[in-house]
Amino acid sequence: MSTHEETDSRSPAQPFWLRGPFAPVTDEVTAHDLPVSGELPHDLAGTYLRNGPNPKDGASRHWWFGDGMVHGVHLEHGKARWYRNRYVRTARYGGTNLGAAADGEDASAARARRLRGGGTSNTHVVEHAGRLLSMVEAALPMQLDRELSTVGAFDFDGALDTPMTAHPKRCPATGELHFFGYQPMRPYLTYYIADAGGRVIAKREIENLGPSLMHDFALTEQYAVFFDSPARMTRDWGDGMPFEWSETHTARLGVVPRAGGTARWFDIEPGHLSHTANAFELDGTIVLEGARCARFEVSPPCLHHWEIDLGSGQTRERAIDARIVDFPRIDDRRIGRPHRYTYVIELCDFVDGTPTGARLRRYDRTTGASAAQDLGPRRIPGESVFVPRGDDPSEDAGYLLSIVYDGERDGSELVVLDAATFGAPPVARVRLPQRVPFGFHGTWVPAP
């Protein structure tokens, strides 16, 4: 099914997110029995999903602003059974005006309409309590069915009345889903917990000095950790980026007890957190790892380490590496607990400030070393997702899945790596029926 005319991906006048491997695709495709190079592990049974921007009219003012499109690859019994990609049918996608209040409509009603409209829903997709949720941090999540068709906006049976982060965290011990919403009016920050069955069991307003860009957060066994950025939110989402950098606002880490209690805020060096890798508690100290840039949308991110001494209130921080990296992921079974391996995308081959190449890199907290993954000439990976191998608790007992752009044929493939032999050639490559534009975040949904 064709949805718009092909964007001219060769036009140098277009911004990077509308050309080359970023350019939107025109078709929603369903293909079965995909060709595989190598051998797919038989214990990989489930669906890899990845979300990203794909503007339906072929144009957008910013990479973040394109309509959401979810891509899925289903693996089973050593076969790649199907690929499909579908737009997330938000109200915005359908042409509904989600801007300023209409005649006779008050501001709160207009905001509720925008919230339920789903925004672009282009950032992440996760599964919880049997529901697939497509997310963007400016609106409610959108529920999808197993064939990636849109069901509609999802508000946790009315419990969610703020935007929802696109980066919820599932506690491996309780099965709870922890998430938050931020917005330019009170409550600036709201912290939610949904139980393993999908019912919201806690909703708390977290006192903050005002609205800031809070794209991601972290979870430990006892705390939620928030990043109060100098990127201040000056208005609601709408026409353009609603953030301005403040030279006077102190960057802070907020520590909130999961079980209830007062938030504590700790001053840190100026900078902005793009994505967290993980956080955990160690001898009275919270350790946080994530991708930090010195200034939002101006300087590139690198992997960073923070420590918060809960007894003394002192903080320590350092860059782990000077390489330009982002999209950190770990074995999700280690969320909130000490982890060893962090997988990132390393950006490289910059031209006019834009990376033209990338590779996967693994950091080892035990040895302090890192290793790169060579996927071949002109092959550029997206974010990797770790899938455990059975019940083996070892952090490298599993597979890494990534959608990789193949510049030799202007196409894409799902690459499967054995995490235990990171750096070795892929164990399998699934050739996809069309190019998958560079996007954001993905997940693995095991087969029932």
Domain-embedded: residue 407: yes
Does the pLDDT at position 261 exceed 70? yes
Identify the pLDDT of residue 1: 28
Which pLDDT tens digit goes with each residue over 58-105? 999 999 999 999 999 999 999 999 999 999 999 999 988 776 666 667
**Under 8 Å between Cβ of 326 and 273:** no
Identify the pLDDT of residue 100: 63
As a whole number of angstroms, the distance between CA 216 and CA 206 comes to: 15
Does the pLDDT at position 6 exceed 90? no
Domain-embedded: residue 85: yes
Judged by average pLDDT, the poorest of 112-121, 188-197, 242-251, 429-438 is 112-121
Identify the pLDDT of residue 349: 86
Give the number of other Cβ atoms within 10 Å of residue 383's Cβ: 24
Q: Which residues pair with 431 in a beta bridge?
A: 413
Which residues span the domain enclosing 143? Answer: 16-446
Nearest to 132 by CA among 157, 149, 117: 149
Identify the pLDDT of residue 2: 28
Nearest to 146 by CA among 263, 278, 237, 30: 30
Split at pLDDT 50, 70, 90, the class of 3 is: very low
Which pLDDT tens digit goes with each residue over 175-229? 999 999 999 999 999 999 999 999 999 999 999 889 999 999 999 999 999 999 9
Domain-embedded: residue 8: no
Can you give the CATH number for the domain in which 144 is found? 2.120.10.30
User: At residue 409, what is the residue type?
Assistant: R
Report the chain's mean pLDDT, rounded to a whole number: 94
Does the pLDDT at position 353 exceed 80? no
Domain-embedded: residue 4: no
Domain-embedded: residue 78: yes
Helix (H), strand (E) at residue 254: strand 252-257
- The DSSP call for residue 93 is T
Judged by average pLDDT, the poorest of 233-237, 241-245, 349-353, 414-418 is 349-353
The structure's pTM equals 0.94
Identify the pLDDT of residue 102: 67
Domain-embedded: residue 10: no
User: At residue 393, what is the residue type?
Assistant: P
Q: How many helices (H) and strands (E) does the chain have?
A: 1, 33
Total count of residues recorded for the chain: 448
Total tally of structural domains belonging to the chain: 1
As a whole number of angstroms, the distance between CA 311 and CA 209 comes to: 23
* Strands ordered across the beta sheet of 325-329: 325-329, 341-351, 354-364, 370-373
b vs e for 295-319, b when ≥16 Cβ sit within 10 Å of the residue's Cβ?
A: ebeeebbbbbbbebeeeeeebeeee
**Under 8 Å between Cβ of 277 and 338:** no
Nearest to 90 by CA among 151, 160, 165: 151
**Under 8 Å between Cβ of 233 and 272:** no
Helix ranges (DSSP H) in 50-121: 107-117
Domain-embedded: residue 401: yes
As a whole number of angstroms, the distance between CA 430 and CA 407 comes to: 15
Sequence-ordered strand ranges (E) for 16-159: 30-32, 36-38, 46-53, 68-76, 79-87, 124-128, 131-135, 142-144, 150-153
Does the pLDDT at position 4 exceed 70? no
User: φ and ψ at 419, to 5 degrees?
Assistant: -60, -30
Does the pLDDT at position 11 exceed 80? no
